[in-house]
Amino acid sequence: MAAPAGLPAEAAGAECSEEALAAALADVPELARLLETDPYLKPYAPDFQRRYKRFNQTLTDIGENEGGIDRFSRGYESFGVHRCADGGLYCKEWAPGAEGVFLTGDFNDWNPFSYPYKKLDYGKWELYIPPKQNRSVLVPHGSKLKFKHSKPKKPKGLRIYESHVGISSYEGKIASYKHFTCNVLPRIKDLGYNCIQLMAIMEHAYYASFGYQITSFFAASSRYGTPEELKELVDTAHSMGITVLLDVVHSHASKNSEDGLNMFDGTESCYFHYGPRGTHLLWDSRLFAYASWEVLRFLLSNIRWWLEEYGFDGFRFDGVTSMLYHHHGIGENFSGDYHEYFGLQVDEDALTYIMLANHLVHTLYPDSITIAEDVSGMPALCSPISQGGGGFDYRLAMAIPDKWIQLLKEYKDEDWNMGNIVYTLTNRRYLEKCIAYAESHDQALVGDKTLAFWLMDAEMYTNMSVLTPFTPVIDRGIQLHKMIRLITHALGGEGYLNFMGNEFGHPEWLDFPRKGNNESYHYARRQFHLTDDDLLRYKFLNNFDRDMNKLEERCGWLSAPQAHVSEKHEDNKIIAFERASLLFIFNFHPSKSYTDYRVGTTLPGKYKIVLDSDAAEYGGHKRLDHNTEFFSEPFEHNNCPCSLLVYIPNRVALILRNVDLPN
């Protein structure tokens, strides 16, 4: 969400005295830079001051009491169950409400009382079990895989392939880490994505929760295979130059008490808030008490464990909006008014944890990436902590998919508003990077529809053969599918995300096995083989997605400054803009093509087509000659010093490159 342009001073927020502003600037090292970027935040300088001081004080307390955040975040090295050098076991837990703690398992025939823990101070318990008399280990441990490949450098332009291992096969079953490594990673590499975001890796008892009801935070889901096989997946991705992000869920936890954290010590307030504050009403899950010392140790150690044990390169933090506010975003319609982001409704305990987590990640591994799933548009969430911000690298541009669904559901093509499309795609805060996406897993789930389904619906099952002529529905669907994704990719942010299978218009929704579908796996799969069939039109969408990504890799528009939009013509349905020295032209008109259409450009020179959605290999109508050279003229047009004439057919997107510039 962008800072409101032209917002009256009295609407910007509460007053802030000169003394209060000076004090805030003195306490927050780079707050002046944030306020220079967005002067409307000045009335809230004391809020940024308070947030930064809470973060800094917590960091100081950790240093004084725990020897620093480096040591504090290694809780997993002492808590839990560990094998000692002598073959014995050392166990340690935090369970302040418990009257007794016992260890049981198949190693002691599930005797619930044979191994009692000893109570320590501050609610901690420990147990040492000596090795067997023959010095053999009490609990065998699998071999450790050693990573062969170093972590990739942080990509300049992030192109994310959102993935779920379990649904990655075309078969109606739970796919494995091995399957994903051998069959899906090569496809991702070929498509030109440089990052994967792995969902549903943290262990969750209920498969249909999509991995968002975590029961075991320090466990990779065993339903896909072994920990070693997950490490092999990450290592293989690294060998391909692909960054791997974990979809981390620290916004809530499963309410399961048998196999989860809930009621861990026999009380409901061990890791979570007591009473109504500890329960999310919509998600029916438990909410962490972020101010608790041991909860901070647990969550920060969990972050570090995934980075170091499995080699992940960063995180997409789920449910950040729920964390940021006491109301959890329930029933809120965020308008962008700055009053919504400051004051008593903000959960500053959670915000302090977010700042600590980002500080830890970027201190340990400076090339790591963190992404916030925040629908509220919290200002400075993706600004540096030194400015009083949250410290995330990116936020998801969550308004963009909603806009495309709204257009497809509610408007005829000829009624699409070009200015509104451009506004939605460019409405983001200056210097806070966004991940743009036309659709994600949310739109693929049963009960919703993907873009391909909104566009083509039932005809996807009958009219996708190249042996049959285009029907109007399939023709429209294929052309708009490409245009929507390209304009989102090029105009919508500083990164791009696609959910697996959506790149080629996957013909089925996503539905996990559950009682309502007789526990069927039929829709919990991805039919990648459809793109390999030369007789089906899915290959055209797949080809376009691949070449779009690879052109971005060469030209770097995601890492370039925000685009200069020269045209958004409502009658002609034309959008034109420049980014990374490329000229993008979109004709969304359902029927009108334009010959000698004048388009403005800031750069004089000779232009050639580098991407044409109408090309035969993308299922287009081949109406453009790619040998054509377009020469700019010193003819001012749409506030651009130069312009050129192009032929732009209906429902076509073009990218032209100035060949007089260095490649």
Q: Name the one residue in this structure whose structure tokens are 């002598």.
A: 86
How wide is the angle at C-alpha 25 spanned by C-alphas 63 and 324, nearest 5°?
Answer: 65
Would you state the pLDDT for residue 137? 73
Q: What is the mean pLDDT of residues 2-15?
A: 44
Would you state the pLDDT for residue 445? 82
Q: What is the mean pLDDT of residues 313-328?
A: 98
Helix 472-491 to helix 418-426 angle, to the nearest 10 degrees? 40
Q: What is the mean pLDDT of residues 580-609?
A: 97
Q: What is the mean pLDDT of residues 202-207?
A: 96
Q: Which residues contact 183 (CB under 8 A, 6 or more apart)?
A: 168, 169, 528
Would you state the pLDDT for residue 5? 39
Q: Name the one residue in this structure whose structure tokens are 């429902």.
A: 651
Q: Pinpoint the alpha helices (H) of 192-292.
A: 227-239
Q: Name the one residue in this structure whose structure tokens are 């977010």.
A: 354
* CB 250 within 8 Å of CB 256: no
Q: How confident is the model at residue 142 (pLDDT cuts 50, 70, 90)?
A: low
User: What's the pTM value of the predicted model, to 2 decimals?
Assistant: 0.96
Would you state the pLDDT for residue 509? 86
| Best CA proximity match to 445, nearest among 543, 378, 512 | 512
pLDDT at residue 64 is higher than 90: yes
Would you state the pLDDT for residue 646? 98
- In terms of average pLDDT, the best of 5-19, 73-87, 499-513, 531-545 is 531-545
Would you state the pLDDT for residue 236? 98
Would you state the pLDDT for residue 1? 41
User: Could you report the per-residue pLDDT of 543-590, keeping only the tens digit for each?
Assistant: 999 999 999 999 999 999 999 999 999 999 999 999 999 999 999 999
Q: What is the mean pLDDT of residues 129-149?
A: 78
Q: How confident is the model at residue 451 (pLDDT cuts 50, 70, 90)?
A: very high
* CB 137 within 8 Å of CB 173: no
Q: Which residues contact 509 (CB under 8 A, 6 or more apart)?
A: 444, 445, 446, 447, 448, 449, 450, 453, 523
Q: How confident is the model at residue 319 (pLDDT cuts 50, 70, 90)?
A: very high
pLDDT at residue 4 is higher than 70: no
> How many residues does the structure list for the chain?
663
User: Could you report the per-residue pLDDT of 324-334, keeping only the tens digit for each?
Assistant: 999 999 999 99
Provide the annotated active-site residues.
318, 373
Calpha distance 641→636 (Å, rounded): 4
Would you state the pLDDT for residue 2? 40
Would you state the pLDDT for residue 3? 40
* CB 286 within 8 Å of CB 272: yes
Q: How confident is the model at residue 146 (pLDDT cuts 50, 70, 90)?
A: confident
Q: Which residue has the higher pLDDT, 444 or 33?
A: 33
* CB 59 within 8 Å of CB 413: no
pLDDT at residue 375 is higher than 50: yes
pLDDT at residue 406 is higher than 70: yes
Beta strands in 364-425 (DSSP E): 369-372, 394-396
Q: Which residues contact 155 (CB under 8 A, 6 or more apart)?
A: 194, 195, 243
* CB 104 within 8 Å of CB 115: yes
* CB 280 within 8 Å of CB 326: no
pLDDT at residue 279 is higher than 70: yes
Weakest-pLDDT range from 127-136, 227-236, 399-408, 526-535: 127-136
For residue 40, the tally of other CB atoms under 10 A from its CB is 18
For residue 395, which phi and psi values (nearest 5 degrees)? -125, 155
Q: How confident is the model at residue 143 (pLDDT cuts 50, 70, 90)?
A: low
Q: Which residues contact 402 (CB under 8 A, 6 or more apart)?
A: none
Would you state the pLDDT for residue 7? 43
The full DSSP string for 521-566 is -TTSS--GGGGG-TTBTHHHHHHHHHHHHHHHHHH-STTSPPPEEE
- Can you give the three-state secondary structure of 108-158, one letter per residue? HCCCCCCCECEECHHHEEEEEECCCCCCCCCCCCCCCCCCCCCCCCCCCCE
User: Could you report the per-residue pLDDT of 9-50, keeping only the tens digit for each?
Assistant: 334 446 889 999 999 999 999 999 999 999 999 999 999 999
Give the chain's end-to-end CA distance (angstroms, integer).
33
Would you state the pLDDT for residue 131? 86
Calpha distance 14→338 (Å, rounded): 10
Calpha distance 350→290 (Å, rounded): 5
Calpha distance 132→482 (Å, rounded): 64
Percent of the chain with pLDDT over 90: 90
Calpha distance 170→527 (Å, rounded): 5
